[in-house]
């Protein structure tokens, strides 16, 4: 069985990765979404097991020390991590998984799983990113400035990603993301099992003929 694709999306805060991830999940229903673990508190409207699994720092440390996390990172004062079992079970079953994580985590995954597909989302400009952060009305001024500073660092650290998408218009950015996913599905290495199936079927037809 062909192993599934691990598609990783990263972007600075306010870059639109969550919106793009949701859009791709709607366009590709078989694609599974990996819910991350975090030590931060739920924001308004967020749900346990849907947006994140919310845990204490002690619980997070236990998971990290036990090797239960595929990747983990400390971002904006909180820990975030990806449950290992869910990812590995899906991929080994031939199912594709979408992961929405920070650049630190993406770099860890690329190092440990070179076959993963990493996509970095950038805003049209730092000014546009700042406007998006302010429109969200979720952060105070200190937090906004910290996020902007971190955004510049993330863009500098994204050189090991496979693809870059400029999120100037959300519908166009989603089309680009969908095209990347479709192209990866057609890579010869991933499609090899389909070729073998066609060849085997041809042999059966010749034999029966």
Structure tokens at 132: 């998006």
Helices (H) and strands (E) in the chain, counts: 8, 9
Q: How many degrees, rounded to 5, is the angle at CA 180 between CA 175 and CA 183?
A: 120
Contact criterion met (CB below 8 Å) for 13 and 151: yes
- pLDDT tens for the chain, residues 1 to 209: 678 999 999 999 889 999 999 999 999 999 999 999 999 999 888 999 999 999 999 999 999 999 999 999 998 899 999 999 999 999 999 999 999 998 989 999 998 889 999 999 999 999 999 999 999 888 889 999 999 999 999 999 898 899 999 999 999 999 999 999 999 998 876 666 666 666 666 666 566 65
Q: What is the DSSP letter of 43?
A: P
The whole-angstrom separation of Cα 161 and Cα 164 is 8
The whole-angstrom separation of Cα 176 and Cα 184 is 12
Half-sphere exposure of 64 (CA within 13 A, CB side): 18
**Residue 12: strand pairing partners:** none
Parse the chain into domains and list their residue ranges.
Answer: 6-34+95-208
Smallest Cα–Cα separation from 204: which of 196, 130, 190, 74? 196
The whole-angstrom separation of Cα 184 and Cα 194 is 14
Specify the pLDDT at position 209. Answer: 57
The whole-angstrom separation of Cα 155 and Cα 22 is 22
**Residue 36: strand pairing partners:** 52
Is 49 exposed, middle or buried (CB count within 10 Å of its CB: 0-12, 13-18, 19+)?
A: exposed
Specify the pLDDT at position 196. Answer: 61
Specify the pLDDT at position 75. Answer: 86
Specify the pLDDT at position 126. Answer: 94
Say which CATH class 6-34+95-208 falls into.
alpha beta
Contact criterion met (CB below 8 Å) for 11 and 120: yes
């Amino acid at each position: 069985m062909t192993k599934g694709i691990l598609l990783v999306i990263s972007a600075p805060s306010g870059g639109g990765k969550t919106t793009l991830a949701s859009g791709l999940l709607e366009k590709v229903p078989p694609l599974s979404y990996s819910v991350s673990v975090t030590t931060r508190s739920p924001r308004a409207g967020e749900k346990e097991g849907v947006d994140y699994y919310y845990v204490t720092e002690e619980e997070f440390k236990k998971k990290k020390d036990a090797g239960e996390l595929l990747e983990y990172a400390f971002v904006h004062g909180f820990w975030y991590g990806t449950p290992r079992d869910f990812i590995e079970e899906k991929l080994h079953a031939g199912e594709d998984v979408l992961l929405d994580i920070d650049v630190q985590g993406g770099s860890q995954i690329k190092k440990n799983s070179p076959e993963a597909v990493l996509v970095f989302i950038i805003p049209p400009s730092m000014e546009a990113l700042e406007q998006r952060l302010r429109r969200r009305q979720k952060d105070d001024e200190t937090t906004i400035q910290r996020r902007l500073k971190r955004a510049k660092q993330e863009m500098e650290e994204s050189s090991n990603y496979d693809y870059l998408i400029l999120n100037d218009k959300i519908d166009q950015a989603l089309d680009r993301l969908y095209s990347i996913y479709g192209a990866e599905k057609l890579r010869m290495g991933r499609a090899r099992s389909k070729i073998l199936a066609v060849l085997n079927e041809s042999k059966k037809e010749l034999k029966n003929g």
